[in-house]
Amino acid sequence: MTDKNSNIEELFMKLNADNAPGQESRQKNNELKLIGDKIEGEYVDFSHGDVDAHKPIPGVLDHYIDGFNTGGSQAYTEYRGQAELLKETAEKLGSFTGTHISPEDELIITPGTQGALFLALGATVTFGDKVAIVEPDYFANRKLVHFFRGEVVPVQMDYLNHDDKAGIDLSELEQAFKNGVKVFLFSNPNNPSGAIYSSEEINQIAELVSKYGVTVIADELYSRQLFDNREYTHLIAHPGVDRNKIITIIGPSKTESLSGFRLGAGFGSSEIIDRMEQLQAIVSLRASGYSQAALKSWFSEPEGWMAERIESHQAIRDDLVTLFRDAGYKVRLTEAGSYVFPQAQNLSIDDVQIAKILREQANVAVTPGTEFAPYCTDSFRLNFSQDHGKAVDAVKRIIKVLENYKNG
Amino acid sequence: MTDKNSNIEELFMKLNADNAPGQESRQKNNELKLIGDKIEGEYVDFSHGDVDAHKPIPGVLDHYIDGFNTGGSQAYTEYRGQAELLKETAEKLGSFTGTHISPEDELIITPGTQGALFLALGATVTFGDKVAIVEPDYFANRKLVHFFRGEVVPVQMDYLNHDDKAGIDLSELEQAFKNGVKVFLFSNPNNPSGAIYSSEEINQIAELVSKYGVTVIADELYSRQLFDNREYTHLIAHPGVDRNKIITIIGPSKTESLSGFRLGAGFGSSEIIDRMEQLQAIVSLRASGYSQAALKSWFSEPEGWMAERIESHQAIRDDLVTLFRDAGYKVRLTEAGSYVFPQAQNLSIDDVQIAKILREQANVAVTPGTEFAPYCTDSFRLNFSQDHGKAVDAVKRIIKVLENYKNG
């Protein structure tokens, strides 16, 4: 809930990032009551992808070095990005999403997709604004709304019981819009479940945001890595959507393994992009100028590279999902991206304890379910962009360790 | 002034970045009444330094390439930075400022010094908080306070009439503190004037912030590039300052010409650093992991490199200041950093018009004075980290063009 008088300490209590992916080494483990032994095995950090197992796009370092050698014009770009790269990237993203993107007015390059998300929220949400957030969805979404003093209006997604649609509760979404929601933020494919919104769901979302004049931020970070030849519908290409009210965000950090460069992009409403750039000017000026040169690799991967990447991830997914299901976990078969979000059954411990215990006894890092929705206390997320064999071994350890914590 | 009910459009009207350095190409020049001819000459962009004329630290690209080749552990660091680099950087910054910095708790690596500034303000300023800001000072300072819904309390600095101290009005500062200022943000050396705060001024600031329990954010971005063997006093090393209430920010973007990597640092209060990291987690996750490897070059420049850099900049400064003074401008002799902030006399045009006219008729970019203080309508800032000869020619053009716009 929004509190107009909350001071800075209260504000930051809600932003606590100690359980966020990548921060595990800062946690203290003093209060754990461990049952059973530690199982030895090679460490797997499922909180993010392993760019050593799935390497960056070949040739990307050469683009970077060229950028560095270009000198001043690459170091100091406009806040929204270097003009030629904006042009090239607008063409690529336009072709990918099936829409025309003006490189001058409708695109901004950001420090990672997280940067695009921050700027998009900061450019659209202020004190007291209601923001519809899907449960479960990316953990930063609710924190961002909180930071900008908006109010989270949760919308449920029945992600475990569908495989032909995401399972968002569209009547709850409409009710939220009726109740004055100003911005709707959602990830598609959904993070953490790996669900893809069906074209019917996207059509209905397009109708609803148009009917109620809601601004949409569509996080499509994982939309290139589609399994089983699934279809994907880009909301921004829907004819019913008001272009001035939509921002799509995306970046090369995941499927393309370019996270180390911190590159992302936001495109859509020129008005919102303008504000995002104004905000960028005081947040970090620009995405690293030299890093921007690495964008040349994006959507220009070598022939067959993306197909191989999808195939190898699909094979890992199949093995992990089978392991979890055979052990009695409920888990959706990831349709896109590289997350699985298993729900454990009958455990005596909650998700935060699960994560700590798995770190201690299974030598793996996972992300607790409540980072994604308050009710996901029995779930945890794994990024399966890992070495295939190590990931399989690690999931076997996870299952074995958690057996010791079953009820009854 | 703060307005609790301001909507997002009103918020962003005050953040307008069209006149900010580097954004000149986005301006429209339709309303200019030009007097006299355009003077031909090679373009100089005085809005920022020229890293082609003053190149990055030798060997920095090799550190970057090593970082890239290190792979996953360099791509995905903790949000506050890679542990080994934190250790190395804490030692270097501690030695530079004469204080001990705990690498685990008192240091964060950020996307540029701008990133450190944003995080430091975001971690200390919230709705209605009073923030003391020096006039003139870095243009983003006031915008940041505005963005975080604080209230700017201006404190004057008589920068034109001193050369043995910055000239901050300490009684006005104390009055501001008495009136409830929570945070004091200032750059030392001062941007845009190049003034250094004397040790006596720093002592008095230390006493005042201690007496009134004010949090200080000290922007020391340019504190390595000192001219004429000037002395410099780091506030954080003052024994009277409460360590929990100070954050110093600094980075290798200016003197070291590493801006293209987007690297900065904040150090001091562990409590504030914790909050800065929590904020970083939702702003951009971390400074580019690969870029962080470039920090190995910082404070490890080749023998004589820094001395040469200071000498060459001092020579440019001398020529530009002489040119401006001979033409009747008031200008402080830069004591540190690479800015001059000349005040024109008897012009019929204001600072924003000056900048636009100089772009059209002198082929140079400068930054309007009102970006730094509302009253600096007759001033403009130049970053003289440029090719020496081109900078001299450009300033001659500036002086000649502006002669046409004199009153009477």
A102 touches chain B (CB under 8 A): no
- The structure tokens listed for A309 are 């990447």
pLDDT in tens, A67-86: 999 999 999 999 999 999 99
Give the count of beta carbons closer than 10 Å to the beta carbon of residue A213.
10
240-279 of B, contacting A, C-beta below 8 A: 259-262, 275, 277-279
A288 touches chain B (CB under 8 A): yes
Going by C-alpha positions, the residue among A114, A167, A369 that lies closest to residue B286 is A114
* CA–CA separation, B400 and B391 (whole Å): 14
Q: Test A15 with B281 for CB contact under 8 angstroms.
A: yes
- In chain A, ranges of CATH 3.90.1150.10 domains: 10-55+304-403
* CA–CA separation, A343 and A324 (whole Å): 9
Q: Test B262 with A282 for CB contact under 8 angstroms.
A: no
Scanning every residue of chain A, which has its alpha carbon at the shortest distance from the alpha carbon of B104? A26
Question: For chain B, how far is it from start to end, CA to CA, in angstroms?
Answer: 37
A/B interface, count of CB pairs below 8 Å? 203
Does ipTM exceed 0.90?
A: yes
pLDDT (0 to 100) of residue B14: 76
In the block, residue with structure tokens 């206390």: A377
Q: Test B65 with A65 for CB contact under 8 angstroms.
A: yes
Q: Test A68 with B260 for CB contact under 8 angstroms.
A: yes
pLDDT in tens, A294-348: 999 999 999 999 999 999 999 999 999 999 999 999 999 999 999 999 999 999 9
pLDDT in tens, A305-320: 999 999 999 999 999 9
Going by C-alpha positions, the residue among A343, A355, A371 that lies closest to residue A141 is A371
pLDDT (0 to 100) of residue A1: 38
B317 touches chain A (CB under 8 A): no
Give the count of beta carbons closer than 10 Å to the beta carbon of residue A138.
23
* CA–CA separation, B333 and B341 (whole Å): 9
Q: Test B282 with A52 for CB contact under 8 angstroms.
A: no
Scanning every residue of chain A, which has its alpha carbon at the shortest distance from the alpha carbon of B129? A7
Among B126, B147, B288, the residue with its CB nearest the CB of A11 is: B126
Please name the amino acid found at residue A110.
Answer: T
Average pLDDT over residues A108-116: 98
Q: Test B22 with A147 for CB contact under 8 angstroms.
A: no
* β-strand partners of A109: A265
- Sign (positive or negative) of CA dihedral A296, A302, A307, A312: negative
* Cβ neighbourhood burial of B203 (10 Å; 0-12, 13-18, 19+): middle
pLDDT classification of A27: cutoffs 50, 70, 90: low
Q: What percent of chain A has pLDDT over 90?
A: 92
Give CATH for domain B10-55+304-403: 3.90.1150.10
| Chain B interface, best mutation among A282, A292, A385, A390, by max B CB count within 10 A | A282
Q: Length of chain A in residues, anyone?
A: 408
CATH number for A60-297 (one of 3.40.50.720, 1.20.1740.10, 3.40.50.150, 3.40.640.10): it is: 3.40.640.10
| Chain B interface, best mutation among A125, A138, A290, by max B CB count within 10 A | A290
Compute the nearest-CA separation of B404 from chain A (Å): 31
| Chain B interface, best mutation among A5, A182, A288, by max B CB count within 10 A | A288
Q: Length of chain B in residues, anyone?
A: 408
Beta strand ranges found along B226-274 (DSSP E): 246-250, 264-268
B58 touches chain A (CB under 8 A): no
A281 touches chain B (CB under 8 A): yes
Please name the amino acid found at residue B181.
Answer: V
pLDDT (0 to 100) of residue B32: 78
26-45 of B, contacting A, C-beta below 8 A: 26
Scanning every residue of chain B, which has its alpha carbon at the shortest distance from the alpha carbon of A292? B260
Compute the nearest-CA separation of B107 from chain A (Å): 14
| Chain A interface, best mutation among B285, B286, B295, B383, by max A CB count within 10 A | B285
Helices (H), A123-165: 139-147
* CA–CA separation, B310 and B226 (whole Å): 7
Angle A36-A37-A43 from CA coordinates, rounded to 5°:
130
Average pLDDT over residues A36-47: 97
pLDDT (0 to 100) of residue B6: 63
Concatenate the DSSP letters of all residues of A88-133 into one string. Answer: HHHHHHHHHHTS---TTTSEEEESHHHHHHHHHHHTT--TT-EEEE
182-241 of B, contacting A, C-beta below 8 A: none
Scanning every residue of chain A, which has its alpha carbon at the shortest distance from the alpha carbon of B128? A5
- In chain B, ranges of CATH 3.40.640.10 domains: 60-297
Q: What is the pLDDT along chain B (408 residues), one digit of tens a residue?
A: 344 456 888 888 877 767 677 666 655 555 678 999 999 999 999 999 999 999 999 999 999 999 999 999 999 999 999 999 999 999 999 999 999 999 999 999 999 999 999 999 999 999 999 999 999 999 999 999 999 999 999 999 999 999 999 999 999 999 999 999 999 999 999 999 999 999 999 999 999 999 999 999 999 999 999 999 999 999 999 999 999 999 999 999 999 999 999 999 999 999 999 999 999 999 999 999 999 999 999 999 999 999 999 999 999 999 999 999 999 999 999 999 999 999 999 999 999 999 999 999 999 999 999 999 999 999 999 999 999 999 999 999 999 999 999 997
pLDDT higher than 60, residue A274: yes
Q: Are A128 and A150 in contact (CB under 8 A)?
A: yes
Among A50, A55, A288, the residue with its CB nearest the CB of B260 is: A288
| Chain A interface, best mutation among B28, B185, B288, B291, by max A CB count within 10 A | B288
